[in-house]
Amino acid sequence: MSNTNKWNADKYKKHADFVSKLALPVIELLDPKENEKILDLGCGDGTLAVEIEKCNAQVVAVDLSESMVAKAQEKGIQAFVMSATELPFKNEFDAVFSNAVLHWIKDADTAIKKIYRSLKPKGRFIAEFGGYGNIKSLTDAMQQVFNEHKEFGVFHNPWFFPKDTEYKQLLEDNGFSVEYIELIPRPTKIDDISNWLDIFANGIISHLTQEQQSLFKQEVREILKPKIYSDKDGWVADYVRLRLKAYKTV
């Protein structure tokens, strides 16, 4: 759901399928019921929408990436290219569900307003995404490489990793009643930091030449290897999840 990151659905499936595998507790929190209408916000390749439909709920799925939406459609999901800040829906959904997406949306206030408007009265909003402290070792390493290469320009961090208190306030300011919100540290195995950077951080270095991009990835890898790699566990990224359940109050 970023404006600058380019999503490669095949690489994502090969190297980042942990994202949907780790989301099953969020689907449990959603607890989809038969005949409910559910919006999957940032559906990616539709893997979780398929899981939700197994409960006989009707899913409408949206994502900013055309290639991801195409993959979701191939799975039979009703999916559309759409931004979280431009949702057109009004009082339509029993629930809005979102996994691993909202940290891409810096304008959280607008997204929350659109989510609120999309829900039916008393509808629920269930989400999990990167929270405060998420991938700090990775962003520090990226920042360090930019600092050491002035020719790379300024490091623009594309992510929003809020504290639970901050996001709760934003939800309440927009009319939600928050039943549950928690920051959950969740160290996460990734297959290689180079693949992670290719999939998730390509927007950060898209202005650089191919050689500069390779140098960036190589140096980030060198900084991180002694910190987050071990022969026993491989690469483990310092993920922190912000998980929440909130209700539209009217």
CA 140 to chain centre: 19
Closest residue (Cβ) to ligand BEZ? 130
Q: What does the alpha-carbon distance between residue 227 and residue 235 come to, in Å, rounded to a whole number?
A: 9
Q: Considering the rule CB under 6 A, would residue 202 count as an interface residue with ligand BEZ?
A: no
- Kindly state the smallest distance separating residue 158's Cβ from ligand BEZ, in Å: 8
122-161 footprint of ligand BEZ as x/- string (CB under 6 A):
--------x---xx-----------------------x--
Number of residues in contact with ligand BEZ under rule CB under 6 A? 8
Q: Considering the rule CB under 6 A, would residue 12 count as an interface residue with ligand BEZ?
A: no
Q: Considering the rule CB under 6 A, would residue 65 count as an interface residue with ligand BEZ?
A: no
Looking at residue 109, its amino acid is: D
Closer to ligand BEZ by CB, 26 or 60: give it.
Answer: 26
Looking at residue 159, its amino acid is: W
Q: Which of 12, 97, 239, 247 binds ligand BEZ (CB under 6 A)?
A: 239
Q: What does the alpha-carbon distance between residue 219 and residue 191 come to, in Å, rounded to a whole number?
A: 18
- Kindly state the smallest distance separating residue 134's Cβ from ligand BEZ, in Å: 5
Q: What does the alpha-carbon distance between residue 247 and residue 79 come to, in Å, rounded to a whole number?
A: 24
Q: Considering the rule CB under 6 A, would residue 181 count as an interface residue with ligand BEZ?
A: no
β-strand pairing of 188-190 with 234-237: antiparallel
Closer to ligand BEZ by CB, 176 or 196: give it.
Answer: 196
Q: Considering the rule CB under 6 A, would residue 41 count as an interface residue with ligand BEZ?
A: no
Q: What does the alpha-carbon distance between residue 94 and residue 39 come to, in Å, rounded to a whole number?
A: 8
- b/e for 196-227, b at 16 or more Cβ within 10 A? bbbbbbbbbbeebeeeebebbbebbbebbeee
Whether the CB-CB separation of 246 and 179 falls below 8 Å is answered with yes
- Kindly state the smallest distance separating residue 29's Cβ from ligand BEZ, in Å: 17
Residues 6+ positions from 36 with CB-CB distance below 8 Å: 57, 58, 94, 95
Closer to ligand BEZ by CB, 58 or 188: give it.
Answer: 188
- Kindly state the smallest distance separating residue 138's Cβ from ligand BEZ, in Å: 8
Work out the number of other CB atoms within 10 angstroms of the CB of residue 107.
Answer: 12
Closer to ligand BEZ by CB, 177 or 206: give it.
Answer: 206
- Kindly state the smallest distance separating residue 242's Cβ from ligand BEZ, in Å: 9
83-102 footprint of ligand BEZ as x/- string (CB under 6 A):
-----------------x--
Q: What does the binding site for ligand BEZ look like in residue numbers (CB under 6 A)? A: 100, 103, 130, 134-135, 159, 200, 239
